[in-house]
């Protein structure tokens, strides 16, 4: 089951972290359990969805709810003490400007998100393309990842402020001080088996920052993987391509540099390794389920309608 998040506009101005945790994970998990008849799910969160997955895990622990059997994090940050290159955009003057923007508009436009990330790789994502297209008259290459990279998303106003102030600047979740649903959430509440995949040259969620967060989880069963390449290519890397290797280390998670120095390098995609990890924490295979029943009718063919919405300029 894949959850598609809507691309928000001003009508979502008051949607915050609580909604992304409650509706994005908890409601979705409950519906999956009803549809399948299963008692537990193996959950996955990519980037910010990985951050909110961590919040959901903490909340479920507080509620003594064991709906999530294992959690996988793709390039996700939970401890923002060292946000990597993104730190330059987390200073007060920048965040103050964003706060004024969302107060006026109700949401953060995707333009600001994509441009911010592009500034972190200015030569590759701004100057290089400008020189090739404007000065040399070359057409941009047909490249699937660049097309995906250009399909940015808006963020609701309240969510943006809570994320930037509470999580990024104040690091409340890492300190066990993030308040949601009447509970104080923290990383020490995460005890389920965890597999975290990070990317060596990720400029959005630095692998060392991700490592620092996962190392503080109280899970006894933790697997940490560093894939070659960046935020998207390092994840969307099927074995058939025989491209980009990855690093693993079964030793204790202490210092990230020491972990990498002692890690084993493996050729090719990490996908088969994750598949093996997931299989050990899953039930028996069952015939593919046919979507839809009386209480859960099929709405439309995949991938749904949200992806067809264009971003307002």
pLDDT of residue 85: 74
d(CA 123, CA 44): 32
Residue 58 has pLDDT above 70, yes or no: yes
d(CA 213, CA 76): 9
The DSSP secondary-structure symbol of 106 reads: S
Query: 239 with 269: CB under 8 angstroms?
Result: yes
Please list the active-site residues.
47
User: What are the residue boundaries of the structural domains of the chain, listed by start?
Assistant: 10-81+158-308
Q: Quick check: bond before 153 cis, omega within 30?
A: no
Residue 149 has pLDDT above 70, yes or no: no
Which pLDDT tens digit goes with each residue over 2-31?
Answer: 998 889 999 999 999 999 999 999 999 999
CATH architecture of 10-81+158-308: 3-Layer(aba) Sandwich (3.40)
Q: Quick check: bond before 303 cis, omega within 30?
A: yes
Reduced to 3 states (helix: H, G, I; strand: E, B; else coil), residue 35 is: helix
d(CA 136, CA 195): 45
Q: What is the mean pLDDT of residues 217-226?
A: 97
Tokens of 232: 């998207």
d(CA 129, CA 99): 30
Which pLDDT tens digit goes with each residue over 225-277?
Answer: 999 999 888 999 899 988 999 999 999 999 999 999 999 999 999 999 999 99
Half-sphere exposure of 218 (CA within 13 A, CB side): 11
């Amino acid at each position: 089951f894949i959850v598609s998040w809507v691309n928000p506009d001003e009508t979502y101005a008051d949607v915050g972290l609580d909604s992304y945790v409650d509706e994005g994970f908890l409601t979705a998990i409950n519906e999956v359990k009803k549809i399948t008849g299963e008692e537990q799910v193996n959950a996955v969160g990519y980037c910010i969805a990985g951050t909110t997955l961590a919040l959901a895990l903490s909340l479920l622990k507080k509620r003594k709810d064991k709906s999530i059997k294992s959690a996988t994090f793709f390039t996700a940050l939970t401890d923002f003490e060292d946000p990597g290159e993104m730190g330059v955009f987390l200073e007060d003057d920048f965040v103050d400007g964003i706060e004024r923007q969302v107060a006026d508009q109700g949401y953060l436009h995707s333009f600001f998100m994509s441009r911010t990330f592009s500034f972190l790789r200015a030569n590759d994502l701004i100057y290089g393309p400008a020189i090739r297209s404007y000065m040399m008259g070359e057409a941009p290459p047909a490249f699937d990842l660049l097309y995906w990279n250009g399909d940015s998303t808006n963020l609701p106003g309240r969510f943006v402020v809570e994320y930037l102030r509470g999580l990024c600047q104040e690091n409340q979740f890492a300190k066990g001080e993030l308040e949601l649903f009447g509970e104080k959430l923290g990383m020490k509440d995460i005890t389920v088996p965890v597999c975290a995949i990070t990317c060596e040259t990720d400029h959005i969620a630095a692998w060392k920052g991700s490592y620092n967060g996962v190392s503080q989880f109280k899970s006894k069963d933790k697997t940490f993987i560093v894939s070659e390449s960046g935020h998207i290519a390092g994840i969307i890397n099927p074995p058939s391509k025989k491209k980009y290797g990855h690093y693993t280390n079964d030793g204790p998670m202490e210092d990230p540099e020491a972990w990498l120095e002692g890690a084993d390098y493996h050729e090719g995609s990490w996908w088969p390794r994750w598949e093996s990890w997931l299989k050990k924490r899953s039930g028996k295979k069952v015939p593919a389920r046919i979507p839809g029943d009386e209480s859960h009718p099929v709405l439309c063919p995949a991938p749904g309608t949200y992806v067809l919405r264009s971003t307002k300029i």
